[in-house]
């Protein structure tokens, strides 16, 4: 099954599952007067929006390269992940404001009905299943968008568990304000999660890599090629889940252009055999001894030893 189809299928499963959970919690939350359950339902509603965005994004990502976007549309996933983080942040802030307002409200508060506990338990089980499925599929196709949503849904499990604990204590101590306090704590957790996803999505959009050990693999791959030396000005960035790698190498200045080209091709093959999900590799060949030491972009082996491999 293609990456696009897995993305779309997983997103539809997430959409339907979260829609059922969200509707049940919002209806019960309003019916029994539980702010925590209602907030949990609103959080699940954002997951429905997220899943719809994912379906739309999956179709964009599958478009072939165009004159305007010669590298294709894979980075739409990073943009979508950024949007998802903002949606989650908005939901968290709305819940935070509602919880604070309810805590300081003079209105009479009542203990929610016991049905709020049942719907919360149902939500925890449903979210666990959805999060596990989403995370498994995300790792299968190396999708930051699916993985981020799976993490968000695992956070939802913690949120629903917090709601459950708050409801139990509300019933035990007969203090309705505990429901509002639980809602406040949950909102802070949602906001923290959104900020984490927002920062994580910056890596791809700023042409970085999440796993910096990829540079170690590049240098090791070059060392295995006879005739190739001093790999430097190495740059790697992500296009969706794929690596775009550019580097300079030095070769004997006395060899022919054909021989230098063959060495460059061997370097490409060596790197591709060492690193999965490579989009493209560009190897620039230089005569040995003419390396520039003041390059602005890229890294060399010494920089890797000083930073990436620093104990």
In the DSSP assignment, the letter for residue 195 is H
CATH number for 1-204 (one of 1.10.3470, 2.60.40, 1.20.1510, 3.30.70): it is 1.20.1510
- For residue 217, which of 178, 256, 243, 187 has the smallest C-alpha distance? 243
Residues 82-96: tens digit of each pLDDT: 887 887 788 788 778
Nearest-angstrom CA–CA distance, 38 and 183:
9
Edge-first strand order for the sheet with 229-239 is 229-239, 242-251, 278-287
**Mean pLDDT score, 181-208:** 82
Residue that the structure tokens 């049905």 belong to: 115
Residue 14 CA, chain-centre distance (Å), reads: 16
Residues 143-172: tens digit of each pLDDT: 777 887 787 788 778 778 877 877 777 777
pLDDT confidence of residue 299: 81
**Mean pLDDT score, 173-198:** 78
Integer-rounded Cα radius of gyration of the chain: 25
Write down the domain spans for the chain. Answer: 1-204, 210-307
Q: Which helix (H) or strand (E) holds 175?
A: none
Q: Which helix (H) or strand (E) holds 297?
A: none
How many helices (H) and strands (E) are present in the chain, helices listed first?
A: 9, 3
Domain covering 210-307, topology: Alpha-Beta Plaits (3.30.70)
Residue that the structure tokens 């829609």 belong to: 19
In the DSSP assignment, the letter for residue 299 is B
Residues 84-138: tens digit of each pLDDT: 788 778 878 877 887 787 777 766 555 567 788 888 888 889 989 988 998 898 8
Q: What are the residues whose beta carbons fall under 8 Å from the beta carbon of 242, sequence distance 6 or more?
A: 74, 277, 278, 279
Nearest-angstrom CA–CA distance, 18 and 126:
8
Nearest-angstrom CA–CA distance, 159 and 123:
10
Six token digits for residue 201: 């999505």
- For residue 29, which of 108, 92, 98, 120 has the smallest C-alpha distance? 120
Nearest-angstrom CA–CA distance, 219 and 309:
13
Residues 215-274: tens digit of each pLDDT: 999 999 999 999 999 898 999 998 877 899 999 999 999 999 999 999 999 999 999 999
**Whole-prediction pTM:** 0.66
- For residue 240, which of 308, 138, 149 has the smallest C-alpha distance? 138
Task: Check whether 70 has a pLDDT greater than 70.
Answer: yes
Nearest-angstrom CA–CA distance, 103 and 100:
5
Nearest-angstrom CA–CA distance, 245 and 274:
13
**Can you name the residues that pair with 285 across neighbouring β-strands?**
249
Same fold, 1-204 and 210-307: no
């Amino acid at each position: 099954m293609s990456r696009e189809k897995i993305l779309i299928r997983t997103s539809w499963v997430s959409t339907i599952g979260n829609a059922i959970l969200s509707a049940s919690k919002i209806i019960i939350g309003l019916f029994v007067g539980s702010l925590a359950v209602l907030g949990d339902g609103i959080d699940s509603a954002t997951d429905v929006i997220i899943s719809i965005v994912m379906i739309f994004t999956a179709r964009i990502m599958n478009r072939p390269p165009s004159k305007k976007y010669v590298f294709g549309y894979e980075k739409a996933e990073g943009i979508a992940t950024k949007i998802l983080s903002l949606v989650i942040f908005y939901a968290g802030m709305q819940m935070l404001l509602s919880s604070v307002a309810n805590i300081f409200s003079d209105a009479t508060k009542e203990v929610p009905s016991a049905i709020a506990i049942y719907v919360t338990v149902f939500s925890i089980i449903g979210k666990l299943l959805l999060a596990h499925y989403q995370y498994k599929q995300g790792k299968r196709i190396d999708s930051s968008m699916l993985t981020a949503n799976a993490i968000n849904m695992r956070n939802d499990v913690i949120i629903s568990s917090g709601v459950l604990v708050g409801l139990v204590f509300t019933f035990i101590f007969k203090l309705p304000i505990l429901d509002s306090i639980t809602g406040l704590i949950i909102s802070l957790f949602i906001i923290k999660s959104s900020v984490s996803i927002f920062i994580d999505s910056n890596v791809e959009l700023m042409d970085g890599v999440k796993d910096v050990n990829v540079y170690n693999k590049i240098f090791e791959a070059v060392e295995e090629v006879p005739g190739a030396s001093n790999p430097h000005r190495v740059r790697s960035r992500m296009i969706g889940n794929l690596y775009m790698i550019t580097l300079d190498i030095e070769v004997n200045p006395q060899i022919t252009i054909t021989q230098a080209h063959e060495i460059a091709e061997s370097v490409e093959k060596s790197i591709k055999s060492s690193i999965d999900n490579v989009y493209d590799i560009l190897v620039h060949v230089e005569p040995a001894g003419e390396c520039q030491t003041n390059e602005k972009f890229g890294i060399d082996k010494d920089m890797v030893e000083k930073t990436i491999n620093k104990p």
